[in-house]
Structure 1
Amino acid sequence: MFDMARRTTAPPPEDFEERIVDIDVSSEMRTSFLEYAYSVIYQRALPDARDGLKPVQRRILYSMAEMGLRPDRGHVKSSRVVGDVMGKLHPHGDSAIYDALVRLAQPFSMRLPLVDGHGNFGSPDDLPAAMRYTEARLAPAAMLMVESIDEDTVDFKPNYDGQETEPVVMPSAFPNLLVNGTSGIAVGMATNMAPHNLVEIVAAARHLIKKPDATLDDLMEFVPGPDLPTGGTIIGLQGVRDAYESGRGTFRMRAKCTIEQITPRRKGIIVTELPYNVGPERVVTKIKELVTSKKLQGIADLKDLTDRHKGLRLVIEIKNGFIPEAVLEELYRLTPMEESFGINNVALVDGEPRTLGLRELLQVYVDHRVEVVRRRSEFRRRKREERLHLVDGLIVALLNIDEVIQVIRSSDDSAQARTRLMDVFDLTEIQAAYILDTPLRRLTRYDKLELDAEKETLTGEIAKLTEILSSEAKLRQVVSGELADVAKKYGTPRRTVLLDAAGVSRTAVVELQVADDPCLALLSSTGLLARTADATPLPGEGERSAHDVLVSAVRTSVRGEVGVVTSLGRLIRVQVVDLPTLPATGAPPSLSGGHPVSEYVSLQPDERVVGLGSLDPDGPGLALGTQQGVVKRVVPDYPANRDDFEVITLKDGDTVVGAVELESESHDLVFISSDAQLLRYPASLVRPQGRPAGGMAGIRLDGGSRVIWFGAVDPERPAVVVTVAGSSTALPGTQVGGGKMSDYAEFPAKGRATGGVRAQRFLKGEDELLLAWAGPAPAKAVSSVGKPVPLPDELGRRDGSGIRLTHTIGAVGGALAAGPGPGRPASDARPAEEEDE
């Protein structure tokens, strides 16, 4: 066991002098914190106002340029770029370098990307792939940042260990800070600058170059507002002006949305552009959260159809009964589809953080660019003067080539030859040394001509550069011209729409749902469902559409329900709000206005729709008639928790041929059989029964006959009876038949379960009715595909024979159909594309 008592400490050396310095803790903490804050502000978070780059971004671009990763070269692994930057210039960790590299390559972050990335560089919602999986090279715009950097245009400083050098600022041939914007959080300050359109910023900079005393209003004629990489809409230009004036301001960003008919039955909101730095997954997640918590209503479905080819596309399906514009306003209010952007233009100017407005930012850049062009011009003139000096020496040597050779041959060494050449031909030391280094093969007559041409060119270039350097106006003109070339080559159209806040209407209470107004639910002869815009009765005969006729109309409300009655005795609930709306006046319940009933209900192969009925529990209820002559009035006690239920128990082989919503018990119930018998009696003679009941005898049928039409007629209103007779052996739809129209009042009322009276006398070749209808006048007939068919004139005799028709009749309707109407049910009509004979 270790013996602590035997442990000793070696004595300090004799020349050792112990020194303990007392330091105040608060002072030390203050100093250390200030040093840290200084490092963050100047070396990490804030960009330079001249080139708009943070130190890490500047080092990335410089290193990639030194590595030769130009746009015309191949991509290299991002990890190679990160390693080179970290090892030579930025020893602060690879993650910070790679994050900055990724942002420089993201088109949704940069208005003009500076790095051309290959691979997964992330999205507004997702992180990029690791640096070992991605590749990068400089984008064409980045070459503008490093252009002429080797021409003494900017100062260089030692790197962190003094073994390398790096530029203090980039030459920056375009206003990168305003074009691409930036964001960063330092100690005690932050910056957040919005991207802008290159063409607009260049136009403003050129105007400032031309007119240095230009005001902010003058510049805003060229730069009306930011131009975000993701497009969208900016609302609130006053906040933009405040930012341009003082360096701080706020505006709202909105997604770009359109309202479209995405399905035949529903509208939807299509989102194609989102606010800056907002991704689709974030929006989708928020919408789902709001819908789940019932804080947002009216959304039926949400699909993200974004891909590489079509770009962003969010489809938000709106429930019927909700106003899409109102739902969109709620989306703006509750989701990231509308967000605020706070501008805080903080950047380094002469090494100090300053808050700058638009004019100050442009002025700083213009001054920087003028200085860059001046230094570049001085460098180029100096290089051309040096070259001209050498060319002059070579020309002297060519003119005296023999003497030059003699001087060189008679000299003991190169030093003596250089001195003698200087003395004999009045040359400088540089010229003499260059002549000695020039191969004799270049001292020919042809080279003399080349040297003369080069001298002339150099002299002209030196004169031009001298003219630029000697005139501030010329210098600024060069800067302006180069900016114009950049805008012409790299400029793109504006993506973001600018709207003043005054042009946006937002009510305090948004009415999401469609008002529960009275209306009519309609079923047409071609099997189309629709609703009217209000409860106004349908127009008269002269105003109605010429396409098809109504076979059923039920009074209801927009947010109510109606029942679709089928031939198998089922009643299927349909939401009225799901039905398409027809115009309020001149309403055409036509092929162009409604939707097929098959979009709302699922039918069995042998099942068809025979009419509509109201689900009002206080109404008189449905009246049904079957093929075997059964009648039933249904007690309107329908189950609230079921969308599909039976309203009659049918016998084997029996089907429902007609269903009508009774408006009054004083109306007549009417049966018309295939043997041309019509029976009518008041509805009060039929006792209402519950849903499971099978009904009671409605009409007595002779052997082999069947009911082909059942409905209700108001005896107090002018009405007619239309019948069409033909042969039972002919194929359906192949014979025109003989038609007859009679006054309904000619048919006497009889008792329930009797045989009725004859409605049409059969001629030779006719043995049954093909079609029958009774209802309010005037009557209108159409073919199976909805084309109008003329009816014969009304006859006085109820039992007369018919007149040969010109076309086959598919359906008949009246001024306001209250029942199933035609002899053939609506859902049994032929397809619309099928032509009549």
Structure 2
Amino acid sequence: MARRTATPPGPPEDFTEHIIDVDVSHEMQGSFLEYAYSVIYARALPDARDGLKPVQRRIIFQMAEMGLRPDRAHVKSARVVGDVMGKLHPHGDASIYDALVRLAQPFSLRLPMVDGHGNFGSLDDGPAAPRYTEARQSPAAQVMTTGLDEDVVDFVPNYDNKLTQPEVLPAAIPNLLVNGAAGIAVGMATNMAPHNLVEVIAAARHLVAHPQATLDDLMRFVPGPDLPTGGKIVGLDGVREAYLTGRGQFRTRATTRIENVTAKRKGIVVTELPYLVGPERVIEKISEGVKNKKLVGITNVVDLTDREHGLRLVIEIKTGFNPDAVLEQLYRFTPLEDSFNINNVALVDGQPRTLGLRELLVVWVEHRIVVVRRRSAFRLAKRTERQHLVEGLLIAIADIDEIIQVIRTSDDADAARTRLREVFDLSEPQAEYILELRLRRLTRFSRVELEKEQAQLALEIAELTAILADDARLRAMVSAEMADVARAHGTPRRTILLDSAGTGATSIGATNATPLQIEDGPCWALLSGTGLLARTGDDRAPTRAGDRHRHDALRSSVLATTRGDVGAVTSHGRLVRVPVLHLPALPPTDGAPSLSGGVPVSEVVALEPGERVLALASLDADAPTLALGTAAGVVKRVAAGDAPANKDAWEIIALKPGDEVVGAVAVSDDDELVFISSEAALLRFGAATVRPQGRLAGGMAGIKLAAGQRALFFGATSTTALDDEDEPGYAVVTIAGSQAALPGTQPGSIKTTPFAAYPAKGRATGGVRAHRFLRGEDTLLLGWVGLAPPRATGAAGQPLPLPPVDPRRDGSGVTLPAPVHAIG
């Protein structure tokens, strides 16, 4: 086939016909390749350096050019869309507004780049029109554009060559990992999961300090994605595969808990949904499942979501059905459990590549090094130029009379400039600057100011020169700036990582009224360091598992029965009744159970704002007394088994205003009680010196604290364990750091010491020093006493290495590679 074209007819004498034969297949191939190239490079795939597609980059840049900073008022989204379309992105207002809306949605991005005002949509509904919504930069977007005026990136022409735009943003935030990305190009696509900013920057800083770090090293800091809507990630094998190869899959689960809807009926309350799953979609799938007989035991689904309390879906269960079994069916047949396919495709040096976690971090770290180097070179040039002008000004002020005489006797400005250069040996910029000088700058005070400025410029030039000449100093500067960003914009982890889903009822059976029965029997109720609750399938004690735990550390355990109750001791001095049946059963193993199969405390225990669960306690009448220690140094023993039969929660200590419980443990008169304070003092004394009191008593003095100090840890040791030759004894772990740092961001220095190195003192004394502070340290971040060997974990339960035992009780610590969240 051929295509025939002809020139338009003109005057008869100028008419010329041109017939061109074109191969249609060749024409289609060329046109398709041009289209594919445009989609891949200019629309669908993000740049690995700043994690932005071109339209997103142009929106953020143009908002910065418009001065829409976080401290300014919002403007109509239509105005932003118009400016972006008219100056940078001539592809229609719909595509620009869609990109702007996603940048403002907190359920789509872990760290939104646009601060939206108005209806920017939900997971089930679209946004309002751009004439109804308003927008401005978020603080994170301002960090993304910082330094654009200092030649840190290259600028390229816009579509009509009248303006310029940045080829890539400086991106002080690792946006591609923090916010993820999704896009469909031609022949390829990208789908990247969001992560936690603090964890990603911690891994990047480790990579800056150790360029040869392996994936396992980096996963100590980034154990898995952190989704904007929270929820749980079940199974981490797919996550590791994605971090290694750039492709993988993991399952996300909703956050649920079982509550009493009425006096006799239970319900499943959903407070967090999987990523990008809306409540209306869940309700629709549940309705379809009930109609198709795939789901039984459900009477109603009520959406109680509001702006004040957030998401709340209540799934009412028929009387006689096991809520745990119904929940398993919901996971199977509804989006309460969903899968996320990771496909980390991004542009690197203009080419699409599939990247693992290490490669993504390397690209961003190298980009930040280039940005900081270019910024330092720009600042050095500016300060050198200014220093040159200041030197000329000082010459002018010293010889001001001659300067004025030369200027007055010159015929014009050019002659004056030439004579100034010849008479005073000035450069042309210096002479020009003197000619434009205002007379008020010639005062004595101005000379003092100029001399100070000259000295300051000399210091800054020396500093910048040293940074550019020393790669180690440049990397240290990049790492420090990363830490500042994490401190300013970091938030706690929202998504819980679970190695496995645990076990539960797997089928509901027939639709009769017979409930699924769970046999009663002895078991252990467990509380992990990251706040997960679970129970074992038998009565084998889990407390001596040590390093055999694959995930998380054990904080507290108590022997119970499957259909019995245990008590949860909280920081507000309350004891909350917890049915053991509500805790997921861990699968039986030959060694220690993996605590990652548990559920968060908040799903089982109704807590007040700011309240934390510290330990579990037995509610049996013959249970040992419960010892409590508070931040103010108060100690108390109380009978935990003396529980009101008609209450689900009750006070066990009267706290003074501002005080809170920091530890709780079951003890006998032969045990010893231990306090560790923030000033690194450890006090051990006999439990027999503390007489048991009633539930409403306020306790007695435990440790003497200095002004402004507080107790960090309270626990107990058993003399039986200390005397047993088969037991390894007790260990003391202390971590020191700075009070000025953001909690959870500084690793600190750690020390592990045998408990026997600390002498016993009397109750209500100050104890002995347990840790010597290094420079920059002024407080203990964490203290712990327990059976050796101790186990440290991060915020997501990942294991962290501990240094060898230090026999010195008052020695200093060893710097940690990552922040420790819990020790067990």
TM-score, normalised to structure 2, is 0.61
Amino acid at match of 1:230: T
Deviations 1:494-536 (A, max 9, x none): 00000113x53367645477884999xxxxxxxxxxxxxxxxx
Residue of structure 2 in register with 1:504 after alignment = 502
Distance 1:461 1:85, change over 3 A: same
Amino acid at match of 2:402: E
Residue of structure 2 in register with 1:813 after alignment = none
Residue of structure 2 in register with 1:771 after alignment = none
Equivalents in 1 of 2:444, 2:385: separation in Å? 23
Equivalents in 2 of 1:489, 1:417: separation in Å? 53
Q: Alignment partner of 2:90: what SS?
A: coil
Equivalents in 2 of 1:192, 1:365: separation in Å? 18
Verify: 1:384 aligned to 2:397, yes or no.
Answer: no
Residue of structure 2 in register with 1:752 after alignment = none
Equivalents in 2 of 1:389, 1:592: separation in Å? 84
Amino acid at match of 1:371: V
Map of 1:121-140 to 2, 5 A cutoff? 121-140=120-139
Residue of structure 2 in register with 1:104 after alignment = 103
Residue of structure 2 in register with 1:452 after alignment = 451
Residue of structure 1 in register with 2:440 after alignment = 441
1:158·1:164 contact (CA, 8 Å) conserved in 2? Answer: yes
Equivalents in 1 of 2:63, 2:33: separation in Å? 33
Amino acid at match of 2:355: L
Residue of structure 2 in register with 1:300 after alignment = 299
Amino acid at match of 1:462: I
Residue of structure 1 in register with 2:281 after alignment = 282
Equivalents in 1 of 2:68, 2:12: separation in Å? 58
Distance 1:398 1:439, change over 3 A: same
Deviations 1:30-76 (A, max 9, x none): 00000000000001000000000000000000000000000000000
Residue of structure 1 in register with 2:339 after alignment = 340
Equivalents in 1 of 2:479, 2:510: separation in Å? 54
Equivalents in 1 of 2:272, 2:325: separation in Å? 19
Equivalents in 2 of 1:426, 1:12: separation in Å? 72
Equivalents in 1 of 2:312, 2:249: separation in Å? 27
Map of 1:611-760 to 2, 5 A cutoff? none
Residue of structure 2 in register with 1:254 after alignment = 253
Residue of structure 2 in register with 1:409 after alignment = 408
Note the C-alpha offset of 1:110: 0.5
Residue of structure 2 in register with 1:812 after alignment = none
Note the C-alpha offset of 1:446: 1.0
Distance 1:29 1:176, change over 3 A: same
Could you list the structure 1 runs, at least 4 aligned residues long, displaced by more than 4 angstroms after superposition. Answer: 9-12, 506-515, 591-594
Equivalents in 2 of 1:505, 1:511: separation in Å? 17
Equivalents in 1 of 2:272, 2:224: separation in Å? 18
Question: Which stretch shifts more, 14-23 or 161-170?
Answer: 14-23
Amino acid at match of 2:292: S
Amino acid at match of 1:458: L
2:48·2:176 contact (CA, 8 Å) conserved in 1? Answer: yes
Equivalents in 2 of 1:293, 1:438: separation in Å? 87
Verify: 1:154 aligned to 2:153, yes or no.
Answer: yes
Note the C-alpha offset of 1:263: 1.2
Amino acid at match of 2:141: A
1:82·1:98 contact (CA, 8 Å) conserved in 2? Answer: yes
2:124·2:280 contact (CA, 8 Å) conserved in 1? Answer: yes
Equivalents in 1 of 2:115, 2:22: separation in Å? 52
2:321·2:513 contact (CA, 8 Å) conserved in 1? Answer: no
Distance 1:248 1:50, change over 3 A: same
1:321·1:513 contact (CA, 8 Å) conserved in 2? Answer: no
Q: Alignment partner of 2:301: what SS?
A: strand
Identical positions, percent: 68
TM-score, normalised to structure 1, is 0.60
Distance 1:237 1:512, change over 3 A: farther
2:224·2:239 contact (CA, 8 Å) conserved in 1? Answer: yes
Distance 1:37 1:266, change over 3 A: same
Equivalents in 2 of 1:513, 1:593: separation in Å? 33
**Which runs of 5 or more structure 2 residues have no equivalent in the other structure?**
1-7, 518-643, 648-824
Residue of structure 2 in register with 1:143 after alignment = 142
Equivalents in 1 of 2:67, 2:516: separation in Å? 75
2:321·2:514 contact (CA, 8 Å) conserved in 1? Answer: no
Distance 1:11 1:82, change over 3 A: closer
Verify: 1:420 aligned to 2:419, yes or no.
Answer: yes
Q: Alignment partner of 2:352: what SS?
A: strand
Distance 1:483 1:70, change over 3 A: same
Residue of structure 1 in register with 2:169 after alignment = 170
Deviations 1:453-473 (A, max 9, x none): 000111111111111100111
Amino acid at match of 2:223: P
1:323·1:513 contact (CA, 8 Å) conserved in 2? Answer: no
Residue of structure 1 in register with 2:71 after alignment = 72
Deviations 1:396-452 (A, max 9, x none): 001111111111111111100000000011000000000000011211111100000
Give the CA RMSD over aligned residues.
Answer: 1.9
1:322·1:514 contact (CA, 8 Å) conserved in 2? Answer: no
Residue of structure 2 in register with 1:654 after alignment = none
Residue of structure 1 in register with 2:475 after alignment = 476
Note the C-alpha offset of 1:15: 4.1
Equivalents in 2 of 1:105, 1:517: separation in Å? 47
Amino acid at match of 1:414: A
Residue of structure 1 in register with 2:330 after alignment = 331
Larger Rg over CA atoms: 1
Equivalents in 2 of 1:244, 1:478: separation in Å? 27
Equivalents in 2 of 1:16, 1:477: separation in Å? 73
Equivalents in 1 of 2:346, 2:511: separation in Å? 49
Verify: 1:210 aligned to 2:217, yes or no.
Answer: no
Residue of structure 2 in register with 1:62 after alignment = 61
Deviations 1:104-163 (A, max 9, x none): 000000100110000000001110001110000000111110001110000001100011
1:298·1:512 contact (CA, 8 Å) conserved in 2? Answer: no
Note the C-alpha offset of 1:290: 1.5
Equivalents in 1 of 2:467, 2:402: separation in Å? 41
Distance 1:514 1:237, change over 3 A: farther
2:51·2:174 contact (CA, 8 Å) conserved in 1? Answer: yes
2:322·2:516 contact (CA, 8 Å) conserved in 1? Answer: no
2:325·2:506 contact (CA, 8 Å) conserved in 1? Answer: no
Note the C-alpha offset of 1:330: 0.5
Residue of structure 1 in register with 2:584 after alignment = none
Residue of structure 2 in register with 1:35 after alignment = 34
Equivalents in 2 of 1:41, 1:33: separation in Å? 12
